Structure 1
Amino acid sequence: MIFKYGNVKIEIPQGYEFVYYATFIVGEYDHIHVKKDDIVLDAGAFVGDFTLKIARKVKEVVAVEPLPWAFELLKKNVEANELKNVILINKALYDEDTTLTLSDEGVGSKLGEGNLTVNTITIDELGRNFTVVKMDIEGAEGKVMKGEWINSVREIAIELHGKENIERVTSYLVSHGFKLTEMKMNHLLINTFKNVLLHFPSFVDAERKSKVLYSAIFKKKYYVPALQREEIKIVYGRK
């Protein structure tokens, strides 16, 4: 299914339409304010929703996605949008170079589970001084909170999974000079109102195809996990 948002077009598999809404309409990462000289890490890029949204506004994006079929669609979406400043990495981020199993559950895929075998890489080994990081790596975020990469980061948005990870990662970020804000419902309502107004034709087209927002309002089917489960939070950090 093809969705649009301004000058961005993105193909998203059926059943994953909520990914478009979470990134482009609800704006769960809209607290990030990128600059033209930024080098951005999209950790857990999936099919490229966040990468496509910000790539034309920054110097470079390194998009890391371990799931093979999602990576192929990520590559296809980057090529379709003619983005020349995006580096694609088909590996999983971890605290060492190794080989791990991965479950094939789309946006819910987890390292250490399932039958897929993936190679891992550390953030430091990507060889960039990242200034902005978006991270959604389904529970592995605690493993990558080490190394020199954090020193150059100005802003970070991270989806945290599990009480232990939430406590560990937030403490780590605070100890490295970040001021943290947790995403709340009022943030999403403001973002949704703003994004619908700014890109109304794209929103109408997406809603006609998927009825995601209709389902959220009238059927109480919400698509941002951090609002439904206490063990998942989206946290923003700025230095």
Structure 2
Amino acid sequence: MWGAFVGLYSLKAAKLGALVIAVEPNPVSFAALCENIKLNNFGNIIPINIALSDHEGLGYLNIVDKRMPSSIAHISRQICQNVVCINMTTLDSLIESLGLSRVDIMKVDVEGHELEVLKGCQNSLRKKLISKLIVEVHTPVRVRLLGITQLLKSYRYKIDGIFEGVLYARAK
């Protein structure tokens, strides 16, 4: 789960017995995610406090409202009062560092940073390490979908459908 927020979907997947890697860069949401994992006594969720992108390094996270999701943006475009400096990595690097040989389902909800996350896992896409993808596409949906579908199709992923801003794809 990339953009795990407080863990709603992570908890559901873990309840079904899946090993869940829950990535959440927002420190407030990450603390709530860890608390939810602890309260529900799940040992099969690995929470990771980092942002995924198309490169490694530092980034900036807009904390728009503590009760709402955040967004990654360049500091030069900031209009928010609360900006947090965060570490970023690529999904390829994360998959390698965790020693994963496959990812059965990858859910991405990263508030407008979808294409950058997917660009950061091109090696995994090329090798078909990721079987299925669920990508929540944020506005402007039409513009973002074009780049996302082109990238996935270039690695021979089949787009199964797009419903209410959520793209479903799988390896061919």
Q: TM-score range by the shorter chain?
A: 0.7 to 0.9
Could you give the per-residue CA deviations for residues 39-67 of structure 1, whole angstroms, max 9, x where no partner exists?
A: xxx00000000000111324411100011
Give SS of 1:179's match.
strand
1:167 aligns with 2:146: yes
Q: Which of 83, 103, 111 is matched with 2:72 structurally?
A: 111
Look at both structures and tell me which one has the larger radius of gyration over its CA atoms. 1
Would you say the 8 A contact 2:5–2:69 is kept in 1? no
Percent identity between matched residues is: 30
> How far apart are 1:125 and its partner, in Å?
1.4
How many residues are paired up? Answer: 150
Q: 1:149 maps to what in 2?
A: 124
Would the alpha carbon gap of residues 53 and 124 (structure 1) be closer, same or farther in structure 2, given more than 3 Å must change?
same
Q: Which of 118, 123, 135 is matched with 2:91 structurally?
A: 123
Cα separation, 1, equivalents of 2:116 and 2:5: 19
Could you give the per-residue CA deviations for residues 138-190 of structure 1, whole angstroms, max 9, x where no partner exists?
A: 1111112232222212211101122332101012223332232111xxxxxxx
TM-score normalised to structure 1 length: 0.59
1:96 aligns with 2:69: no
Cα separation, 2, equivalents of 1:57 and 1:148: 29
Could you give the per-residue CA deviations for residues 56-97 of structure 1, whole angstroms, max 9, x where no partner exists?
A: 324411100011111000000011111111111111111111
Name the Cα RMSD after superposition. 1.6
Would you say the 8 A contact 1:155–1:237 is kept in 2? yes
Could you give the per-residue CA deviations for residues 201-236 of structure 1, whole angstroms, max 9, x where no partner exists?
A: xxxxxxxxxxxxxxxxxxxxxxxxx4xxxxxx1111
> How far apart are 1:107 and its partner, in Å?
4.2
Q: Where do 5+ consecutive residues of structure 2 fail to align? A: none
Q: Which of 76, 99, 103 is matched with 2:35 structurally?
A: 76
Q: Where do 5+ consecutive residues of structure 1 fail to align? A: 1-41, 184-225, 227-232
- Considering Cα pairs closer than 8 Å and 6+ residues apart, tell me whether 1 or 2 has the greater RCO: 1
